[in-house]
Chains A and B, each alone.
Chain A
C-alpha cells in the first residue's frame, strides 16, 4: 500500500468540487430549494395527503392536456429532426458557407419568443403574407386558416427549437473521422450507402442529444401555443399557470411534479442509450 500516494490524491479530488462550490450553492439556494418548496405543496396543500395525485387518473382535463402536450412535443421533435439534420450536415460539409449558416441558425435564437410569435402572426394570419401570396398567385380561392390552429403552434415551435437540434447533431458529425468515409468509398460504397452505414450511425449520439433537448424544452412551452395556437389548445404549462392564478397551488404543484417527472424520465431513458455521452463531449478540433 502506498499511503503517501493516497494522501496526495485526497486534496486533488477536492479541487473540482471547490471550483464548482459557488455555483452549486447558488443553485441550491435559488433553484433547488424553491423548486422543492413548490413541489412539496403537491402533498401538503391544503393538508398532508396524496389526494392530488390520487385524483389524476380520473382527471379528464389533465389527461387531455397532458396527451396534447406530449403529442405536440413529438411532432415538434420529428419536425426539427427532419429539417435540422440536413442543415447540420451542410454546416459540417461546407467550409465556406458554415459561418453564414451558423449565423442564420443563431440569429432567430437571439430574438425574443414574444417578438417571434408576433412575426408568425403576421405571416400566418388569414390576411397575412402567406395567404396573400398564395391568393395572388391564384393557388387559393379563399384564405387558409393557419394562425390559431395546432399547426401554427407546431410550425412556430419547430422554428424556435431548431437550433437545439442542429447544434448537437453538427457537433456529432464533426467528430466523425473523415478517413472513415473515405475508407467506405474506397471499398466501393456509394455516397448514399456511406451516409447510411457510416455517417448516420456515428451521428446518432448527436441525434439523441438533440431529440432529448428539443422534446424536453417542447414539453414546457407556454407563450407560443397561447399566442398562435388553436382555441382548444391547452398545454400543461398553461394549465399550471391557470391553477396558480386560481390559487390552487397544491394542484398546480402536482401538475408541475408530473411535468418534471416526465422530463426526468425521458432524460434517464436517453442516457441509457449507448454513446449518448459523446454528444456532450466538447470537440476542439
Chain B
C-alpha cells in the first residue's frame, strides 16, 4: 500500500505526468497537434525482421508521442511488432537481469543510470553501431546505450511577478532581492541528482568550467539559497504544480513540462540561459530475448525523420543533426536541440556524475538536514 515507494507515481516521468498532461490536454490547440509530420517511406533491409520487440518507456504523453512518431511506422516498415510498457526504471532492469527474467528488450533510461548500473556488474548489451544513422551526433553515442531524446533542465518563472524583468541564468535565480519570492529545485528524496552545476554558475563559475564540479564550492553556494527553497522536488509534475498554484515564482523544470503549463494559460516562461542539456538513452538489458530487434529499433528511432516526429509531438529535441531540416522554424523555438538554444545550454556530464553521484547525494542529505 502506501508504506513503500509506489513505483508508478514517483518513477520520474510516469503517472504524475499523465495527471498533469491530462489536466492540460484539453487546452492544447488542435492546430499544433495536427501539423503534418514527415514520413519515412522505406528503410534499409538491415532494419527489417520478424517477431517482436518489448520496449519500456516513461509512459504518459511521452509514450503516446512515441507510439505515433516511431512505434507504429516501425511496425509497418520493418515487420517487427512493437510492444511498449510504461514504467521504465533502472532498478527493475537490475532485478530482471539478476533473476534471469528479462521482460524488456529495451528500456528508455539515461546514460547516467545505464553506466551507473554497468559499474556494478554486466547489465546491458553493447550497441551495434553499424546499424546506427550517421546523423547521430558522436556525443550521443556510448558503448552500452544510444541516446535517443534531448531535453533540458532549465529555469522557469512566473511572468506576472517581476514587473517585466527577465531572470537570466543562476545568479538571478539566487538573487532574491532583485527577484523576490520562493524557489523550488531538484532534491534527492526519490533518487534525484542535485543541481550542483546551477549552484556553481550562481557562484560565478563560467558554464564551460563547471566540470569537474567543485563540490565544496557548490554547497557553499547552495547555502545561500537554502532558506528560499520551499520545495526540493523529485518528479517533473511538482514544479509545474508549484508555479501554477503560485507557491513559487521561480523553479527549475524539465523543459517539456512547461508546454502544458503555458497551454493551460498560466503566465510562465522558460529562461534557457545556463540550463542543462540532458538526454534519455536506449539501453538493451543483458540477455534480452529480442536484442537483435531492439538494436534495429534503436537504429530506426534515431534516424532524422523519426526523431523529428517526436520533436513535433512533444517539445523534446533530436539526437540526429539532420532532424532540424524537417522541423518548422516556429517549432524549433521551443526545442533544446535547436542550434540557437543548444548554444545556451551546458552539456550534462553523465561521466562525472557516475563517478560522484553517491558521494554528492549523501552529502546533500546531510547538508539538507543540518
Whether A148 contacts B190 in the complex (CB less than 8 A), given A65-B369, A220-B3, A244-B91, comes out as: no
B163 at the interface (CB under 8 A from A): no
Contact A246–B358 (Cβ < 8 Å): yes
Contact B231–A247 (Cβ < 8 Å): no
B234 partner residues in chain A, CB cutoff 8 A? 226
B229 at the interface (CB under 8 A from A): yes
Contact B91–A247 (Cβ < 8 Å): yes
Q: Which of B3, B10, B247, B365 contacts A234 (CB 8 A)?
A: B365
Bound CA span A99–B92, Å: 45
Q: Which of B15, B188, B231 contacts A148 (CB 8 A)?
A: B231
How far, in Å, is B262 (CB) from chain A's closest CB? Answer: 19
In B186-209, the 8 Å CB interface with A consists of: 187-191
A241 at the interface (CB under 8 A from B): yes
A212 at the interface (CB under 8 A from B): no
Q: Which of B3, B231, B365 contacts A237 (CB 8 A)?
A: B3
Q: Which of A234, A244, A247 contacts B5 (CB 8 A)?
A: A244
Bound CA span A231–B362, Å: 16
Bound CA span A247–B115, Å: 12
B190 partner residues in chain A, CB cutoff 8 A? 226, 238, 241-242, 245
Binary flags per residue of B234-247, CB closer than 8 Å to A gives 1, else 0:
10001001000111
Bound CA span A234–B192, Å: 13
Contact A247–B247 (Cβ < 8 Å): no
In B1-44, the 8 Å CB interface with A consists of: 2-6, 9-10, 15, 19
Whether A232 contacts B369 in the complex (CB less than 8 A), given A126-B247, A127-B245, A226-B189, comes out as: yes
B247 partner residues in chain A, CB cutoff 8 A? 125-127, 147-148
Bound CA span A238–B238, Å: 16
B232 at the interface (CB under 8 A from A): yes
How far, in Å, is A38 (CB) from chain B's closest CB? Answer: 11
B229 partner residues in chain A, CB cutoff 8 A? 231
Q: Which of A145, A222, A245 contacts B91 (CB 8 A)?
A: A245
Contact B9–A114 (Cβ < 8 Å): yes
B94 at the interface (CB under 8 A from A): yes
A271 at the interface (CB under 8 A from B): no
In this complex, the interface size class of chain A, counting residues with CB under 8 Å from chain B, is: 35 or more
B117 partner residues in chain A, CB cutoff 8 A? 247
Whether A240 contacts B5 in the complex (CB less than 8 A), given A60-B366, A127-B246, A247-B116, comes out as: yes
B340 partner residues in chain A, CB cutoff 8 A? none
Bound CA span A221–B4, Å: 7
B4 partner residues in chain A, CB cutoff 8 A? 220, 222, 237, 240-241
B116 partner residues in chain A, CB cutoff 8 A? 247
Bound CA span A121–B243, Å: 13
Bound CA span A147–B242, Å: 11
A160 partner residues in chain B, CB cutoff 8 A? 2
Bound CA span A148–B190, Å: 17
In B152-208, the 8 Å CB interface with A consists of: 187-191
How far, in Å, is A102 (CB) from chain B's closest CB? Answer: 21
A44 at the interface (CB under 8 A from B): no
Contact B5–A241 (Cβ < 8 Å): yes
How far, in Å, is B248 (CB) from chain A's closest CB? Answer: 9
B263 partner residues in chain A, CB cutoff 8 A? none
A248 at the interface (CB under 8 A from B): yes
Whether A223 contacts B191 in the complex (CB less than 8 A), given A147-B247, A231-B230, A247-B116, comes out as: no
In B229-274, the 8 Å CB interface with A consists of: 229-232, 234, 238, 241, 245-247
Contact B230–A148 (Cβ < 8 Å): yes
A61 at the interface (CB under 8 A from B): yes
A64 partner residues in chain B, CB cutoff 8 A? 369
Contact A231–B231 (Cβ < 8 Å): yes
B94 partner residues in chain A, CB cutoff 8 A? 247
Bound CA span A64–B19, Å: 33
A127 partner residues in chain B, CB cutoff 8 A? 245-247
In A121-139, the 8 Å CB interface with B consists of: 121-122, 125-128
Contact B9–A121 (Cβ < 8 Å): no
Contact B2–A242 (Cβ < 8 Å): no
In A212-226, the 8 Å CB interface with B consists of: 217, 220-224, 226
Q: Which of A60, A217, A231, A232 contacts B3 (CB 8 A)?
A: A217
B187 partner residues in chain A, CB cutoff 8 A? 231
Instruction: List 19 interface pairs A-B (beta carbons < 8 Å), by A numbering.
Output: A60-B369, A64-B369, A114-B6, A114-B9, A118-B19, A125-B247, A126-B247, A127-B247, A220-B3, A220-B4, A221-B3, A222-B3, A223-B2, A237-B4, A241-B191, A244-B191, A245-B191, A246-B357, A247-B117
Excluding A224-B2, A244-B191, 6 further A-B contacts by CB distance (< 8 Å) are A61-B366, A223-B2, A226-B234, A234-B365, A237-B5, A238-B190
Residues of chain A touching chain B, judged by Cβ–Cβ distance below 8 Å, are: 60-61, 64-65, 113-114, 118, 121-122, 125-128, 145, 147-148, 160, 217, 220-224, 226-227, 231-232, 234, 237-242, 244-248
User: Shortest 6 CB-CB distances between A and B: which pairs?
Assistant: A245-B191, A220-B3, A241-B5, A61-B365, A238-B189, A64-B369
Residues of chain B touching chain A, judged by Cβ–Cβ distance below 8 Å, are: 2-6, 9-10, 15, 19, 90-91, 94, 116-117, 120, 187-191, 229-232, 234, 238, 241, 245-247, 357-358, 361-362, 365-366, 368-369
